[in-house]
Amino acid sequence: ETGVTQTPRHLVMGMTNKKSLKCEQHLGHNAMYWYKQSAKKPLELMFVYNFKEQTENNSVPSRFSPECPNSSHLFLHLHTLQPEDSALYLCASSQDIQSSYEQYFGPGTRLTVT
Amino acid sequence: GQQVMQIPQYQHVQEGEDFTTYCNSSTTLSNIQWYKQRPGGHPVFLIQLVKSGEVKKQKRLTFQFGEAKKNSSLHITATQTTDVGTYFCAEPSYNTDKLIFGTGTRLQVFP
In this predicted structure, the answer to whether residue B15 has a pLDDT above a threshold of 80 is yes
Q: How far is A49 from chain B (nearest CA, A)?
A: 11
In this predicted structure, the answer to whether residue A110 has a pLDDT above a threshold of 70 is yes
For A72, counting Cβ atoms within 10 Å of its Cβ (0-12 exposed, 13-18 middle, 19+ buried), the class is: middle
Strand order in the sheet with B55-58: B5-7, B19-24, B71-76, B61-65, B55-58
Any B CB within 8 A of A60 CB: no
What is the per-residue pLDDT for B3? 77
Three-state SS for B33-62 is EEEEECCCCCCEEEEEECCCCCEEEECCEE
In this predicted structure, the answer to whether residue A21 has a pLDDT above a threshold of 90 is yes
CB-nearest partner of A108 from B4, B42, B45: B42
Is residue A1 very low, low, confident or very high in pLDDT (cuts 50, 70, 90)?
low
* Contact flag A56-B98 (C-beta cutoff 8 Å): yes
Is residue A53 very low, low, confident or very high in pLDDT (cuts 50, 70, 90)?
confident
Q: Is A54 helix (H, G, I), strand (E, B) or coil?
A: strand
- Taking CB atoms and an 8 Å cutoff, what residues of chain B touch A104? 45
What is the per-residue pLDDT for A59? 84
* Contact flag B41-A90 (C-beta cutoff 8 Å): no
- R_g of chain B, CA atoms, integer Å: 13
User: How far is Cα of residue B9 from the mean position of the Cα atoms in its chain?
Assistant: 11
Query: What is the percentage of chain A residues whose pLDDT exceeds 70?
Result: 97
User: How far is Cα of residue A65 from the mean position of the Cα atoms in its chain?
Assistant: 10
Quick one: DSSP state of residue A46?
E
Interface test with A, best of B47, B69, B94, B98 (most A CBs within 10 A): B98
Is residue A2 very low, low, confident or very high in pLDDT (cuts 50, 70, 90)?
low
Interface test with B, best of A56, A102, A109, A110 (most B CBs within 10 A): A102
Quick one: DSSP state of residue A86?
-
What is the per-residue pLDDT for A99? 85
A58, A47 Cβ separation under 8 angstroms: yes
- Taking CB atoms and an 8 Å cutoff, what residues of chain A touch B102? 42
What is the per-residue pLDDT for A57? 75
Residues paired with residue B57 on neighbouring β-strands, in sequence order: B62
What is the per-residue pLDDT for B53? 97
What is the per-residue pLDDT for B98? 84
In this predicted structure, the answer to whether residue B49 has a pLDDT above a threshold of 70 is yes
Look at B43 and B93; give whichever has higher pLDDT: B43
What is the per-residue pLDDT for A51? 83
Cα–Cα distance list, A97 to A39, A114, B98, B108 (Å): 26, 35, 7, 33
- Mean pLDDT for the stretch of residues B59-66: 98
Cα–Cα distance list, A63 to A31, A91, B24, B29, B98 (Å): 23, 18, 34, 35, 24
* Contact flag A105-B42 (C-beta cutoff 8 Å): yes
**Chain B residues in contact with chain A using a Cβ-Cβ cutoff of 8 Å:** 4, 30-31, 33, 41-45, 48, 50, 88, 90-93, 96-104
Interface test with B, best of A34, A43, A58 (most B CBs within 10 A): A43
- Mean pLDDT for the stretch of residues A63-79: 95
- Mean pLDDT for the stretch of residues A76-99: 94
Is residue A27 very low, low, confident or very high in pLDDT (cuts 50, 70, 90)?
very high
Instruction: Return all residues near A53 (Cβ < 8 A) that are at least 6 apart.
Output: A68
- Mean pLDDT for the stretch of residues A67-73: 94
Residues paired with residue B93 on neighbouring β-strands, in sequence order: none
Instruction: Using the Cα atoms of residue A100, residue A57, residue A31 and residue A13 in order, give the sign of their dihedral.
Output: negative
Any B CB within 8 A of A107 CB: yes
- Mean pLDDT for the stretch of residues A41-68: 87
